[in-house]
Amino acid sequence: MSRSFRRVLTSAIGFVTAIAAGPALASVEAGNQQSGLSGINHIVVIYEENHSFDNVYGGWEGVNGLAGADSNHTLQIRQASGSYSCLLQKDVNLTSPPLTVQCTDTISGFTSHFVNQPFRIDDYIGPADTTCPQQGHEFSQANGWAKGTGTTGGCTRDIVHKFYQEQYQLHGGEQNLYVTGSDAVGLVMGNYDTTLLPIYTYLHSDGHPHYAIADNFFQSAFGGSFLNHQWLIAAATPIYPGQPDSSLHSIIDSNGMPNKYPLYQPTGPVSDGPLTQTCPSAVPGRACGNYAVNTMQPAVQPKGSFGAVLPTQHGATIGDSLTLHGIDWAWYAGGWSNADGDINAPGWTNGNGPSCLDPRAAPNPSFPLCPDTTFQFHHQPFNYYANYAPGNPARTMHLRDEAEFMQLANASSKDCNLKPVSFVKPVGVQNEHPGYASESSGSSHLVSLLQAINNGACRKDTMVVVTYDEFGGQWDHVAPPGQGNNNGPHDEWGPGTRIPTLIIAPRLRGDFVVDHTQYDTTSILATIEHRYGLTALGTRDAMVNDLSGVFGAHSPFDT
């Protein structure tokens, strides 16, 4: 049995001990944390997709997980009042039929196999089930692929995860309107058996790296991937300059909702646009103006063919700050070379033309632009900024393919070849995103990334932060900062729902620790800024805790 099963560490224990012993010991603890960060020479951020903490890590030992969820934050309620008896389902593998009817909700008028409580997805859709999309048809089945019609992997349908919807779902920290505010209704209460995930197996095997789970880590902004990728690199919401087309603005009802769903009926006119509501008619308590909060396409290639285009951005990013101080960095995206047309660069798989040869290339490509069918253009945040536009040397230097990261991590050398700061973004089919990616195969890809770092020279001085861009529309029982009675840095943009986060680093006080320190995604920026002496990009990354707290944790089993 791995020592990880026997050693559960909480930073809360260390914090309480330090305060009880007086200011002197507390000062020593803070010094130890910063000393741990100063010994880090490489920071790697692996940015996965669309899962809440309870959804995938809720069963990890020692964490504030599903076992600690009280009924006040679990039982989902109706738009008007009162709780549901059952969970309405829309995923084709969770409806009745094919499942038996076990519950009747007489008030809302539906039957279901599921009562109103969290349930385990693995009991109904497993990794061996053929419920993942057929290649090239990833977005054609809104309610998922019935068993036997898709490919292996155990995929579910996708779930809405947007800016205004999430604020409604959080319900001021009560966490009980996730079902009502979702297109996927009851699926939001599903979770995976943590102990069956490849990442769990890897981190409980002999020789695994020392790691921390941060179980109080929140997505930086409400809503989806587009906005949270922007906050990861800029700690700010993009602005649409000038006078945008009025149809781009959201219109929200008196509850702050911009859309109709199976269990939600708008109280007035609604429009689910990519920009915030206009300010003259703003619903109080919700952001307004020319801010891009839902998915928009970049103004330059590679870009998708759906949705509105966001004009080029000119704000500061963490990349700009690092470059200004002479610190090398890169954003390594799976599928980038193919999507960007970087012929013969690492990751290029499409030959010399005149057509794209990789069978995973999207239909009707224009060689050499040969994106994978699951390449997500809005997951490439630096591509929205003028400093990294085509033709700018900084683009070629810093926007690279994930294959190159793997080459550097796997290099046979006594010295680590990684840059001081690396962001790693797996391609869609490997990023764990519900709907078009398999959770199990995405977790396996994550393991391969960690193994490459752990098995080489980089292990001795590298901090790896594995986190998820946002909650994917899935329920979590912990209220974010600024919601309910949970205090902490917050503003009109977030933070939103709690997300899974692993931190792998040398010199942790144990082979497995659980850090209860409050963080959000901008804590990654704060960590980079504090390690390399950079100025904060915004107010949030200036206020949040950096991740050095993991070095100050104490094991109750250590003597």
Q: What is the pLDDT of residues 222-273, one digit of tens each?
A: 999 999 999 999 999 999 999 889 899 999 999 999 999 999 999 999 999 9
For residue 325, tell me if it sits in a domain.
Answer: yes
- Whether 474 and 71 have beta carbons less than 8 Å apart is answered as no
Amino acid letter at 96?
Answer: S
Find where tokens 């039957």 sit: 111
pLDDT the model gives residue 510: 84
Q: Which residue has the tokens 């909650």?
A: 471
Instruction: Give the list of residues 6+ apart from residue 178 with CB closer than 8 angstroms, or none.
Output: 76, 169, 188, 189, 473, 474, 475
Token reading at 493: 């943009």
| Cα distances (angstroms) measured from residue 7 to each of 500, 511, 558 | 20, 7, 9
- Cα separation, 463 vs 104, in Å, equals 50
Residue with tokens 């290099």, as numbered in its chain: 411
Q: Which residue has the tokens 């057509």?
A: 355
Q: Per the domain annotation, does 428 fall within a domain?
A: yes
Alpha-carbon dihedral angle through residues 392, 393, 394, 398, given to the nearest 10 degrees: 120
The predicted structure's pLDDT at residue 412: 82
Cα separation, 421 vs 40, in Å, equals 11
Tell me which residue has tokens 């790697």: 44
Whole-number Å distance between alpha carbons of 264 and 285: 20
CA dist 133 and 373 (Å) reads 11
Quick one: which H or E segment has residue 45? Answer: strand 42-48
* Two tokens, residue 411: 């290099």
The DSSP call for residue 188 is: G
Cβ–Cβ under 8 Å, residues 332 and 319 = no
Q: Which residues of 399-409 are buried (b: 16+ CB within 10 A; e: fewer)?
A: bbbbbbbbebb
- Does residue 39 fall inside a structural domain? yes
Nearest to residue 422, comparing CAs of 413, 432, 409? 409
- Say if 499 falls within a structural domain: yes
Question: What pLDDT score was predicted for residue 14?
Answer: 38
End-to-end Cα spacing for the chain: 20
> Is 218 inside a domain boundary?
yes
Cα gap 513→192, rounded to integer Å: 21
At 23, list the tokens.
């200011």
Look up the domain containing 284 and give its range.
3-335+372-552
> What was the pLDDT predicted at 554?
58
Q: Is there a domain that residue 259 lies in?
A: yes
Measured distance CA(515)–CA(369) in Å, rounded: 43
Instruction: Report the CATH number at residue 26.
Output: 3.40.720.10
Residue 4 near residue 510, CB atoms below 8 Å = no
Local structure of 341: helix, strand or coil: coil
Q: Which ranges of 381-520 does DSSP label H, i.e. alpha helix? A: 393-398, 402-410, 439-454
Phi/psi for 109 (5° steps) reads: 75, 50
Calculate Rg over the CA atoms of the chain.
23
Res 372: pLDDT: 96
Does some domain include residue 498? yes
Residue-level pLDDT at 220: 98
Does 31 map to a domain? yes
Q: Kindly state the greatest CA–CA separation across the chain.
A: 71
Residue 352 has φ and ψ, to the nearest 5°, of: -110, 15
- Phi/psi region, residue 219 (left: phi>0; alpha: psi -120 to 50; beta: rest), is beta
Report the number of distinct structural domains present in the chain. Answer: 1
Return d(Cα 28, Cα 169) in angstroms, integer.
Answer: 41
* Predicted TM-score (pTM) above 0.85: yes
Low-confidence ranges of the chain (pLDDT < 70): 1-35, 553-559
All residues at 6 or more sequence positions from 328 whose CB lies less than 8 Å from its CB, including other chains:
322, 419, 420, 421
Cβ-contact 371, 335 below 8 angstroms: yes
- Give the DSSP letter string of 227-249: HHHHHHHHSS--B--S---GGGB
In this prediction, residue 553 carries a pLDDT of 65
Helices 402-410 and 439-454 meet at what angle, rounded to 10?
Answer: 40
